[in-house]
Amino acid sequence: MNYQNDENQRSPGEAFARMLYPKFQASGGKPQMVLPTPIEISAALDRHIVGHAFAKKMLSVACFKHLLGCAAADMRGGKMPPGNHCILSGQTGCGKSAMIGVLGDFLGVPIFEINCATLSPSGYKGTTLNQHVEEFAGRLAFGNKTSPAIVVWEEVDKLADDRSEAGRYRKMAQADALRFLDGALCGEDMTLDASRILNIGLGAFVGLDRIRNPRRTPTIGFNQTAGSQFDGCGTGSELLPDHLIEFGLMPELVGRFSRFAALDPMDAGTMRRIIRESESSALLRRIAYFSGHGVRLVFDDDAVDVIAAMAMAHPTGARSLGMILDKLLLDLEFRLPNLAKEGVVEVAFDKRAAQGETDPVVTRDSSREGGQSLMEMRKRAGTYITRPMPKGGDDLTKC
């Protein structure tokens, strides 16, 4: 997943935040946004991510303290003290990367990724941490000033030493990270102040549950009672540094992180909530796309249950929702501009239609006058085409 924000463009989340939160006048008269509180940051995560209350709280506090600390260092001098770095563990598709993406959009902070699965030790073939550091320096360091940022260590569990030959090299890559995580001056010219970077490690950590709860049988589900092993904050589910060290991460590496959270596995009920409630839901995005053509896309509760069951059966979890819906809606999306011109106003899926056993119910309104906004968008999109359209395409003047 690419988290990097274009510094020359304002993200939708940043624009929303600037409308939502109060502004004050800086000394030069230029409006500036007030840093959202941890509660407000967590609320932004709630709109897009279902569950994981403890992890959201942890990330919100870490981001708030880091950005506030950077501001204090700017105003009073000095460096940011270390102590906010986080590690999240959780199965593939449970929302780890999605949370980081929401944070980046909402706060407007640059986010960079280190893919630990392909990270090589210094002096060996492949991508090394030094190469990443030079990239960060080029994007963040200006003179003696480093802009605050977040670095995501994707698949940090892949750095674990399993006492094999490959594990020995992974351990060397861990050792390379220590100085960077300590917040030292880094880069070839020592221009990158790593204390201005909040590091967040993400990983599936397959097999970690057996280390955390060796005598317990895993209970699947988000809605566990307080204290159950997967509630994110109870004693049985607590993710401790000792667990990560036993998994294969170096004590020295783990010691550079101070916040740890184990995300909850998903059940069908949670998947349904993701489909229905998340503002970035794959289904809601497609409903909005159909609505742009003047067509209502409807899935009843039974149809949503079918989609949720398909996603639960897929190894990528919630990440598979887009793929499942794209496959289901492909024929409709292929014909959608024509359906809109023919007066189709609604396409409704029930259980059997979602399973592909029957066609969805299509409702038409021949008296409807529509398509103008769609045509305006098509004409605007046509300006992106640099070569003449082949003969046989739509004659836009007759639409």
pLDDT at 310: 93
Average pLDDT of the chain to the nearest whole number: 82
pLDDT at 27: 40
pLDDT at 372: 60
pLDDT at 216: 58
Q: In one letter, which amino acid is 108?
A: G
Q: Render pLDDT for 112-168 as a digit per residue (tens, 0 to 9).
A: 999 999 999 988 888 999 999 999 999 999 888 899 999 999 999 999 988 888 888
Q: How far apart are CA 87 and CA 201, in angstroms?
A: 4
Residue 231 pLDDT exceeds 60: no
- The domain made up of 12-265 has a fold known as Rossmann fold (3.40.50)
Q: How far apart are CA 48 and CA 277, in angstroms?
A: 8
Residue 226 pLDDT grade (very low, low, confident, very high; cuts 50, 70, 90): very low
Specify the higher pLDDT residue, 72 or 143. Answer: 72
Whether the Cβ atoms of residue 184 and residue 232 lie closer than 8 Å to each other: no
Specify the higher pLDDT residue, 336 or 376. Answer: 336
The structure's pTM equals: 0.76
Give the mean pLDDT of 210-236.
49
Any idea what DSSP says for residue 397? G
Residue 9 pLDDT grade (very low, low, confident, very high; cuts 50, 70, 90): very low
Residue 232 pLDDT grade (very low, low, confident, very high; cuts 50, 70, 90): very low
pLDDT at 369: 57
Whether the Cβ atoms of residue 56 and residue 138 lie closer than 8 Å to each other: no
Same fold for the domain at 12-265 and the one at 269-382?
no
pLDDT at 381: 80
User: What does the block give as tokens for 190?
Assistant: 């020592």
User: Residue 211 burial (CB < 10 Å; 0-12/13-18/19+)?
Assistant: middle
Any idea what DSSP says for residue 222? S
pLDDT at 67: 93
Cα dihedral 380→385→389→392 (10° resolution): -50
Of the listed ranges 229-233, 240-244, 264-268, 383-387, the least confidently predicted one is 229-233
Q: Give the distance, in angstroms, between the CA of residue 114 and the centroid of all CA atoms in the same chain.
A: 14
Give the mean pLDDT of 287-313.
93
Domain ranges of the chain: 12-265, 269-382
Q: How far apart are CA 220 and CA 218, in angstroms?
A: 6
pLDDT at 76: 84
> Class for domain 269-382, per CATH?
mainly alpha
pLDDT at 302: 95
Q: How far apart are CA 224 and CA 124, in angstroms?
A: 46
Residue 11 pLDDT exceeds 60: no
